[in-house]
A and B are shown apart, each in its own frame.
Chain A
Amino acid sequence: MNVVAWAPFALLCAIGLGRALTASAPSQPPSADEAERRDAFRYVASDEAAERREAAKTFPTDLWSRDDDFHQREAKRARDWARTHHVGVGAALSAIDQGLREHWPSGSSVPLVATVPPCRPRAIY
């Protein structure tokens, strides 16, 4: 094989590889302490009843779609909290999980559910 002939191709591939490997991510946001985690849980969970009601309005006849719509709203709320408190989204989501598991006070008017309806993607859009 003529190494010189293949050099331009190899160089361009190396540039692509190098660019991907040297691409950097912003530094990890600080993790949340216990008080912040409880605050994150309360912020997200306190709105659960209202969000589920809104989801029911959007999908009045489809349980899975309702729950899925609720999770979209919940994820947005978690992101909002993380952004305003300058912590990672993962920390907010982890707090929701911990709060649900350890039955932290949520401020929600309805009991939080720890189950989901089975996946039933809509056949018609």
Chain B
Amino acid sequence: MPAARHLLSLAGGSYRTVRFVARDTPLRLALFAALALAASWPLLSSAALFNEFRDAHVLGHYESAARDSVLRWHQAPLWDPYYCGGMYLLGTPQARFVSPTFLFTLLFGETRGEALTAFAMMMLGLEGTFRYARDRGATRFGALLAAPMFALSGIFAVSPVLGWIGFFGFELLPWMALGVRRALVCKRMGIVLTAVAAAWCVGFGGTYAAPIAALWCAFEVAEFVVTHVRSRRPKLLSGLGVAAAGVALATALAAVRLWPIAQTMDEAPRIIGGTPGNTWKILMRMFFFPLRSASDDGEFYLGFFVAPAALLGLVRRRSIGLAAAAVLCTWLAAGYEATPSLFSALRELPLYETLRYPERFLVPLGLAAATLAARGISLAEAHARMQRAPHAQRDGRWRWRRVAAVAVFATASVALAAGIGPLVAQHTLHARERSLGSLPVADAAGHFHQARGSRWALAYYEPMQRGSLSCWEAYPVPESPLLRGDLQSEERIVEPGAGTVTERSWTPNAIDLDVTLSRPATVAVNQNWHSGWRSNAGEVRSDHGLLTVALPEGTHALSLRFEPRSAVGGALVSLVAAGALAFLAVRARRAPGVTTLREGGVLALLAAAPVVPFLFALRAPTQRTFAEPLLTPDGRPVVADGLDEAAVRIDAKFADGVVLEAATLSTPDPAAGSDISLELDWRRSARVDPGLGIFVHIEPSSGTGQNGDHVLLSGVLAPEDAPPDRTLRDVIPLFVPGDARGKTWKVWVGLWHVRRGGSRVPLLDAGHTQSDGDRVLAVSFVPR
């Protein structure tokens, strides 16, 4: 018995210590710092090296390019000439430099900044989860134990390996949710918290974190409405009003990023097809199983240790909202594997249509599970600590009930605490998987020029002052086919013999040239055109997407400046919103709540203030855009009045009003090992189902076939965006393999709902060819 007594005493002491730490903010933050330090130690220890993973090259490059803009060129990071032939850096959704963590990058460089960012964001996530759980009714003890479950979960161990630092934006999710909850009860600080966390998340490149966090916040509002709609209607209305002000100020504060991103997405929309899904078994393994190489196991690891406490949390009636959130997250994470698919319904919404990976909804599930666990521990703690009157304590049943409560509390708490170790270990294990390299010494005196480059080794180019034309992004970056990686000079006169051009100075956002012309001519700069480029003379134009300036005869000191309206306007809106939020933060110290109609009116004015600079920016002169005709890969217009003479008619009719008019091979008898093209000529009716895709099955008489499924006609035009009743040329390049000789190759073509469930569009009439299961035989050939 002395041993048991000693154990009980030890457990009691530990419990009191944890409670003390949880109550004392500096001590609690120190504990969180220690946990974050342990989790990020492998990253910090290798902070001088850069991650060689392909995505890390690109995402790290945005940060480096932004740093160079500020420190080397002393200008705002607006334009990135080093990638894809030049792109709108501020409008690139995955760039993360519009956030406070950019300070680390500025001070210590990209690689060290990345490790410090991971460390800082994990600390932030720990404290955010603690506070969110507290706001959800958890005790300090429960919230402290549960916070690491979310803030150190698998996604934050996996992301640095892949270079996806933007995923640390999810650490702001509890802060955003907390802000919305506080705003709903009319607290001024709630508005400030929501706005700052949301703007940070957007600026941090949270292409998944921000939209998913927005859904979570919408859920918080819905839960508030459900719980207040019957009995507390005045509170409901005032709460919704304050929360709306919070949303307005969050949008305004993020405008410096949102507006440029909106411009980019409008000009180059991201189209995602496919019907991704995860079985329940896969989701379980991602969430509960530890890391296993070459599998998805542990990608969103929380571990089984969270289960007892989370299940206890479900017992409480006030946990219904969290339980519902957990169910919705799981349902969404299943993607198209679930029937009906909530993810499919979500993708009908603007913005959410670009989400590709449903399993990322396991991240908010992690927050729901951690908060439920905190509430479960709190429930058990309350029962274990419950006092009874002396006569009741003498009751044997009560004594056993109390022993059981203490046992349950101890088991759930120990399990949760025991889960922290494996969580931290996941970070170390994942970090070991990274392939690391060292960057070349930056060429400070080097002169910029475009190279053919390689996005697979992108990090090497910018320090050498080379641009990489080789480009990958999640969206189709507008990139001119006229860009070259072998020019002697980056600027030239297009018309031969019309004059000379000399570079006077070059920076990413500003190019100064001396131009002498004997007749009107065009200066071409070996970078992409963008509507944000302006010049002090002549007219900035796009020549097949290349940046050019049309100038009159004479001598010109030409100055090109990149000043997009979306960046300037967005910055003004954000500035005014920041002022309004600073005022609110100061007011919140003296008067936390919005209690009177007058205070509500002031809040409404503050929330509306950013509209003024927005309207002012809208009134600025419109920057000219160039809508060039969409071309097939062989340079013909995609949209034509009718079929070419040589076209082989098919006239197959599909449901949804789409006709395959003709299908023609560029060479009727192609040689094995040669490049040919297949032209499919489509015609659509006035109404066509959005989200159609074209499947192309290229099947040899023996051996492996090829797949030419695609979404855009000729790679540039979505069927729903095409004009009706015109011939739409869909030219597909086709490589005939060397071993194709003598085999009969058949190309089958059909339509399917690529973004809506994946079902095939029924074939109504095969026209002049064969059909087979809602597909038609477009062409067949025997390579020589």
Contacts and interface: CB of A to CB of B under 8 A. Distances in A.
21 contacts: A5-B24, A5-B27, A9-B29, A9-B30, A16-B33, A53-B738, A75-B454, A89-B437, A93-B460, A96-B452, A97-B452, A97-B453, A100-B486, A113-B452, A118-B479, A118-B545, A119-B84, A119-B472, A119-B473, A123-B273, A124-B711
Interface of A: 2, 5-6, 8-9, 11-13, 15-17, 19-21, 23-26, 28, 53, 56-57, 60-64, 66-68, 71-72, 74-76, 78-79, 88-91, 93-94, 96-97, 100-101, 113-121, 123-125
Contacts of A67: 470
B737 A71 contact: no
A91 B732 CA distance: 37
B566 to A, nearest CB: 21
A45 B455 CA distance: 17
Nearest to A59: B735
Interface SS of A by simple majority? helix
Contacts of B466: 94, 97
A20 B108 CA distance: 9
Given A61-B706, A63-B733, A116-B469, A68 B754 contact: no
Interface in B103-128: 108, 112, 115-116, 119
Contacts of B224: none
Interface stretch (B42-50, B89-97, B317-325): B42-50
A48 B44 CA distance: 39
Contact of A68 (B455, B461, B485): B455
Interface of B: 24, 26-27, 29-30, 33-34, 36-37, 40-41, 44-49, 54, 84, 108, 112, 115-116, 119, 270-274, 356, 437-441, 449, 451-457, 460-461, 463-464, 466, 469-488, 545, 633, 673, 675, 693, 696, 698, 706-712, 715, 732-735, 737-738, 754
B295 to A, nearest CB: 18
Nearest to B46: A23
Nearest to B451: A97
B271 A123 contact: yes
Contacts of A121: 270, 472-476
A89 B46 contact: no
Nearest 3 CB-CB pairings of A with B: A90-B440, A61-B708, A114-B486
Nearest to B736: A60
A119 B476 contact: yes
Contact of B273 (A20, A57, A124): A124
A123 B275 CA distance: 11
A17 B633 CA distance: 51
Contacts of A19: 41, 44-45, 47
A24 B673 CA distance: 49
Contacts of A12: 30, 33-34, 37
B506 to A, nearest CB: 18
Given A23-B44, A56-B675, A9 B33 contact: yes
Contacts of A6: 26
A76 to B, nearest CB: 8
Contacts of A79: 457
Contacts of A123: 271-274, 693, 710-712, 754
Given A9-B26, A97-B466, A116-B452, A57 B472 contact: no
B40 A16 contact: yes
Given A63-B733, A75-B457, A114 B481 contact: no
Contacts of A100: 451-452, 485-486
A119 B270 CA distance: 12
Contacts of B481: 115, 117-118
Contact of A119 (B45, B477, B738): B477
Given A19-B41, A25-B438, A28-B440, A119 B112 contact: no
Contacts of B471: 116, 118-119
B470 A23 contact: no
Nearest to B116: A20
Contact of A88 (B440, B473, B735): B440
Contact of B693 (A15, A23, A71, A124): A124
A69 to B, nearest CB: 10
A63 B475 CA distance: 16
Given A9-B29, A72-B456, A116 B470 contact: yes
Contacts of A125: 274, 356
B485 A97 contact: yes
Given A115-B484, A123-B271, A20 B464 contact: no
A20 to B, nearest CB: 4
Contacts of B460: 89-90, 93
Contacts of B476: 118-121
Contacts of B119: 16, 20
A26 B439 CA distance: 10
A56 B472 CA distance: 18
Contacts of A13: 33
Contact of A71 (B36, B270, B463, B470): B470
Contacts of A75: 454, 456-457
Contact of B27 (A8, A118, A119): A8
A68 B45 contact: no
Nearest to A113: B452
Contacts of B484: 114-115
A76 B457 CA distance: 9
Given A16-B116, A56-B735, A89-B460, A68 B470 contact: yes
A9 to B, nearest CB: 4
Nearest to B478: A118
- Which residue, A64, A72, A78, A120, has most C-beta atoms of chain B within 10 A? A120
A94 B468 CA distance: 11
- Which residue, B30, B36, B482, has most C-beta atoms of chain A within 10 A? B30
Contacts of A71: 453-456, 470
Given A19-B41, A90-B440, 5 more contacts: A12-B37, A74-B454, A75-B457, A79-B457, A101-B486
B84 A61 contact: no
A36 to B, nearest CB: 15
Contacts of B48: 23-25
Contacts of B46: 23
A61 B696 contact: yes
B740 to A, nearest CB: 10
Contacts of B472: 68, 119, 121
Nearest to A15: B37
Given A71-B470, A101-B486, A90 B45 contact: no
A64 B716 CA distance: 12
Contacts of A101: 449, 451, 485-488
Nearest to A88: B440
A28 B733 contact: no
Contact of B734 (A15, A60, A89): A60
Contacts of B40: 16
A56 to B, nearest CB: 4
A90 to B, nearest CB: 3
A65 to B, nearest CB: 10
B462 to A, nearest CB: 11
A56 B677 CA distance: 13
Nearest to B437: A89
A19 B115 CA distance: 10
Nearest to B544: A118
Given A93-B454, A97-B485, A115-B484, A28 B116 contact: no
Contacts of B273: 123-124
B457 A78 contact: yes
B707 A28 contact: no
Nearest to A76: B456
B274 A23 contact: no
A116 B482 CA distance: 9
Nearest to B41: A19
Given A12-B30, A56-B735, A121-B472, A17 B438 contact: no
Given A20-B44, A25-B438, A114-B452, A61 B479 contact: no
Contacts of B477: 118-119
A121 B478 CA distance: 12
